[in-house]
Amino acid sequence: MKQFLSHYRFRLLLNSVLLALLVLSLPSPPMLMELGSLLLMVLAGINTVRSHSKWFELICAMGILSLCMSFVPDSWQIHPLLKRGIPQIAFILLLVVSIFHRVTQQRPVTRELLYGLCALYLNFVLSFALTYNLIEHLHPHSFQTGNGPLDMASFVYFSMITLTTIGYGDIVPIHPLARLLAGSEAIMGALFIALAVARGLSLMNDDIKG
């Protein structure tokens, strides 16, 4: 089992992030489904970090904190931004930094590492979506839309079309911070294509040499 988790660590993370995005894209997803997808993503994320890495303890701590805050009963009346927002964003950002270091520095480039690239891309989507949702809660009407109130599902969609630089224009950032983040996400999406191509060429080159 340990060998399986180690060998397919990035595939497991990719699938868990896909599941989390799918659940969050649903309007008002069931609580157990949302918590279950978060649990799988945290466990898969921790599994990708080497135990001797300087990030391991910090990522584990933030992952456990995000899980604990998500499982806190509503009767405790904890602020929604602390219960579902800041801890999850911090965990994903730490995970993104760790994965980015792995996929850009590790040699030789393996096919499993390319799954890590895909997981990194989707983690960008999720982290920006959570941040947009956080901004909207802190500063209502930071985004303009003609489709009614915005929820987490709306921000997952907005994050996807922004990162892919499609930008349909049905959701428009109004607040300066929202505009800055949307622009930054679009730039990251364009730069990511260059990174993916470079890593893919490295894999092909290593295969030829092998």
pTM: 0.88
Q: What is the pLDDT of residue 112?
A: 78
Supply 132's token pair. Answer: 């947009």
Per-residue pLDDT of the chain (210 residues), as tens digits, is 777 777 888 899 999 999 999 999 988 888 888 889 988 998 998 888 877 777 788 888 888 888 888 777 767 777 767 766 788 888 999 888 888 887 777 767 677 788 888 898 999 999 999 999 999 988 999 999 988 889 999 999 999 999 998 888 899 999 999 999 999 999 999 888 887 777 666 666 655 555
> What single DSSP character describes residue 149?
S
Amino acid found at 190: A
User: What's phi and psi for 53, nearest 5 deg?
Assistant: -70, 150
44 and 91 Cβ atoms separated by less than 8 Å: no
Q: Give the span between the Cα atoms of 66 and 87, in whole angstroms.
A: 5
In a 13 Å sphere around the CA of 101, the CA atoms on its Cβ side amount to: 11
Domain boundaries 2-209, CATH class:
mainly alpha
Per-domain residue ranges of the chain:
2-209
